[in-house]
Structure formats: structure tokens, C-alpha cells
Amino acid sequence: MKSSGQSGHCLVNSQTIDLLQKRDAVFLKQIFLDTNPLLARVCVANSVLNENADELIQQTWETFFANLEQFQGRSQISTFVCGILLNKIREYRRSIAKFVYEEDSEKILNQAFSHDGWWRNPPHNAHKLIELQQDGDMIRQCLEGLSENQKAAFVLKEIEEEGNEEVCKLLGINVVHLGVLIFRAKDKLRKCIEGHSTEKGG
């Protein structure tokens, strides 16, 4: 996962691991600066806001430092930490009964197209979507309809622009499954946003 800072700390070598184990203040400050904005965005996309987001991010770092010996530098720090956060979010959303389970991707994909292979519900003119881009509440409401993996895949790939390999590693899936998750996430978001557009008479 790429770093948003300029420190180059995401290259995990033995020196980096050493600094982590020593809890070097300058190094940790940079790590928090680089990684926490990403963690905060992942929380927002999962409707975990304000105090709840702070709490989950703190729990994430607690788990990371408690299991520091397991971090052997095979993945970048932000990737490793983001993986912990995604698990925390899943636990949290289960606890508040807002967990959205995965549907049968193959079935959904087939339902998206008609017998002659065309869209059952083709994308509308994108201008309608653009008109609604400022409606943050509506978008977050639409994000709620995605499964946990769809949300994570969409945010990491489309918003954070991470590479396929990193996202697959984080979610424990292969690239074909990632493709289906992204397709399904976009399809659900499109239908949800277009639905709002129709309601508003757009």
C-alpha cells in the first residue's frame, strides 16, 4: 500500500522493524500521520464516524502493538494495520447488527444482464449522477447497502487507488473475486444513486 507521506517509511526493512520495536517517537509520529487518514476514510466508508471511528482506530493500533512480533515486514505497515481495522469494523458492525452479508456473486451478475447479454438496467446519463455528487448523506446511505467486502474493495481500489495485489492480500481474495466485488459495488451504488435521482425528479 502506498504511503501518503514523504518519509518512505512504508518500505519495511529490518531498520524499520527495529524502530517500531524501539517505539521511536519520530518514526511513530510519521507512521500515524501516514496511516491514520487512510484508516479514517475506511471508517467513514463503513459508516463508522466520530468517536466510534477514533475508538476503532485506537483498538487497531492496540492490536498492532500487542502483536508486533507477528509483523515480519512481509507487507507494508499500512496494509497490515488496515487489515486489522477491517476486521475490527466487521466485529463492530456485527455487534450493532448492521453487517451486510455477501450475496451470490454469480447469480447477481447473471441477473444484471438480459438473455441477449445486454444490461437489464443500463447506466443512465452520467450527468444525473454528477448532479447528486454533493449529496454526501445520500451517498453514505447508498454505501450502507454494500456488503463489508464490497465496501472495502471499492474504497481501497477506487478511492485509495491501491493495486489489485494489495487489495487482494488485505481481503484474502483472488483478483477474479475482486473484479466481481468492484463490479457489484458500482452496480449497487449506481442503482441507489439513480433511484434517488428519479425520486428527486431528475
Partner 1 sequence: MKIGKKLRSIWHNIYYTMTFRKGREFAMRCKDVVHQIDLRNENQPGLQKFRINLHLSLCQACKNYSDASLAIRQAVRNAVKLQEQPERLEKLNNNLLKKYSEK
Residue numbers of the site for partner 1 (CB under 8 A)?
Answer: 22-25, 28-29, 32-33, 36-37, 40-41, 44-45, 49-50, 54, 57-58, 61, 65, 109-110, 113, 115, 117-119, 122-126, 129-130, 132-134, 136, 139-140, 143, 154-155, 158-159, 179, 182-183, 186, 189-190, 193
Closer to partner 1 at the Cβ: 12 or 31? 31
What distance in Å separates the CA atoms of residue 143 and residue 147, rounded to the nearest whole number?
9
In this complex, which beta carbon is closest to partner 1, that of residue 29 or of residue 98? 29
Are 158 and 150 in contact by the 8 Å Cβ rule? The answer is no
Nearest Cα to 32, choosing from 57, 11, 12, 56? 57
Largest CA distance in the chain: 62
Smallest distance from partner 1 to CB 186, Å: 6
Whichever of 70 and 110 has its CB closer to partner 1, that residue is: 110
Smaller CB separation from partner 1, 73 or 179: 179
Provide the minimum distance between the beta carbon of 13 and partner 1 in the complex, in angstroms, as a whole number: 21
Distance linking the first and last C-alpha atoms of the chain? 39
Between the CA of residue 32 and those of 29, 81, 143, 157, what are the distances in Å? 5, 11, 26, 21
